Chain A
Amino acid sequence: DTEVTQTPKHLVMGMTNKKSLKCEQHMGHRAMYWYKQKAKKPPELMFVYSYEKLSINESVPSRFSPECPNSSLLNLHLHALQPEDSALYLCASSHPSFGGQLSNQPQHFGDGTRLSIL
């Protein structure tokens, strides 16, 4: 069992649907991340939240909308997705860097949500 919990594990949706992915961690981490991973490829960073504020957006299309309601929870709202958005979506959390010091803390990942767009 991982310490980062993602729900749902699988999601099938049409291109006109609105759905949300949820990620929760209780490790006291103040940095949370969304990644997209296509089959046989490495994860690609989408968004980074630091202390509940969006700090990195890797030019992700607006049909993906992240939200960080509190320090333990991270959501990814989906609307009008395309078939090419079908992928494994991974959430991760970590301690952020402090005072310019490079953090040696790893990112802890959830099991992911396998998303299929019809």
Chain B
Amino acid sequence: AQKITQTQPGMFVQEKEAVTLDCTYDTSDPSYGLFWYKQPSSGEMIFLIYQGSYDQQNATEGRYSLNFQKARKSANLVISASQLGDSAMYFCAMREGTGYSSASKIIFGSGTRLSIRP
């Protein structure tokens, strides 16, 4: 069984500061993928960044980077130079390896509510 843990229910950060959102996972499958999603109060889930279990380098997408420590089974999201618009709920999610031509499911962590102070 897979499990995603986000230990920070809420965080407050000053605008323009960097912030790290924690995520640890547990899986026995050697092939898996890790995702981070942002969910503003409007409800839409916005894909931010992806890290595959076999990727050699940490993923980066603009101001988002993923600090992937495979041995520790952690995949922390780093947001540089935070902005007021970054205030939202952030979910870490994992997908395990699947069979042929099949849709796979992803499991979400409990989320971290990030609030950016002006």
Contacts and interface: CB of A to CB of B under 8 A. Distances in A.
Given A31-B103, A111-B44, A112-B44, A102 B95 contact: yes
B115 to A, nearest CB: 14
A9 B53 CA distance: 36
Interface residues of B, number: 31
B104 A103 contact: yes
A94 B52 contact: no
Contacts of A98: 100-101
B43 interface: yes
A92 interface: yes
A106 B50 contact: yes
Contacts of B102: 50, 55, 96-97
B111 A96 contact: no
Given A103-B33, A106-B50, A112 B103 contact: no
Contacts of B43: 88, 90, 111-112, 114
Given A97-B98, A100-B97, A102-B98, A50 B44 contact: no
9 contacts: A2-B44, A48-B103, A90-B45, A102-B31, A102-B33, A103-B98, A107-B106, A111-B42, A111-B43
